[in-house]
Amino acid sequence: MARRVRAVSHEDRLTLVEHLDELRSRLIVCLGVLGVALALCFWQNHLLLEVAQGPLPDGRDQLITFGVTEPFTTTLTVAAYGAIVLSLPIVLWQLYAYVLPAFSEAERRLILPILLLFPVLFLAGIAFAYFVVMPAALNFLLDFNSGQFNIQLRARDYYSFFSMTEIACGLIFQLPLAIIAVTRLGIVRVEQLTQNRRYAYLVISIVAAALPGVDPVTMLIEMVPLLVLYELSILLARVLGRPGHSGGVAQPSPQE
């Protein structure tokens, strides 16, 4: 197994069977990490559930379930979401390690430092969703026409909404990495990003509307950091993202 998941260099020439063998080995590693994370999260499910209930307003932390099996299945679902969050950095690293040999040494020197920012931005997105998005969304949604409804929170629905919002915000905070990567690789120029800013804002609005949370308050709260991240990405791309800097991809590889 150790031989099969060894790092492949840019000069190596693998057959289709060897590529599939490496992919299978990395998938096994990902499934193993996900299984360990799931066991850990299910072991600490009480702590995980308490953390997920943190953004709820006072007096709303008593969630209800229907049916005999729902407490178990809901707890297992929350543990699965937690396992995805815990294992995501390793899973993505396995994906990056699989595709990195397709890049030259100079291109890898540009990409690897960018990848190190992934967990930082992912955790920043998780924290933003937990402390900003969730409390504002819950206060608005639970108070909306509260005099006309007997509002009861079902555990399965709430935990699903919480988990999807957290993961979605963690992923959208990767926007700077994507923009810096495509500019450093020379796929998109910084000038194109600035000239097409109005279209980017439109796409950001659509993305914010498609994220978990159907109310306008949540949409606006999720849209603001996207706009800030986009402008910050352009600023960083002007400094770091131009191809040819620091031995960038403008230099041809030895095989070209």
- Domain assignment of residue 255, yes or no: no
pTM score, whole prediction: 0.71
- Domain assignment of residue 193, yes or no: yes
Domain that holds residue 82: 16-240
Q: How many domains does the chain have?
A: 1
- Domain assignment of residue 76, yes or no: yes
What integer pLDDT is reported at residue 35 of this predicted model?
Answer: 93
pLDDT averaged per 10 residues in sequence order, the chain, 256 residues? 49 64 85 93 92 84 85 91 86 75 68 74 88 86 80 87 86 80 75 82 80 70 82 77 47 43
- Domain assignment of residue 75, yes or no: yes
- Domain assignment of residue 250, yes or no: no
- Domain assignment of residue 6, yes or no: no
What integer pLDDT is reported at residue 72 of this predicted model?
Answer: 92
- Domain assignment of residue 249, yes or no: no
Q: Which two tokens stand for residue 145?
A: 């026409």
What integer pLDDT is reported at residue 46 of this predicted model?
Answer: 92
- Domain assignment of residue 67, yes or no: yes
What integer pLDDT is reported at residue 185 of this predicted model?
Answer: 67
What integer pLDDT is reported at residue 43 of this predicted model?
Answer: 94
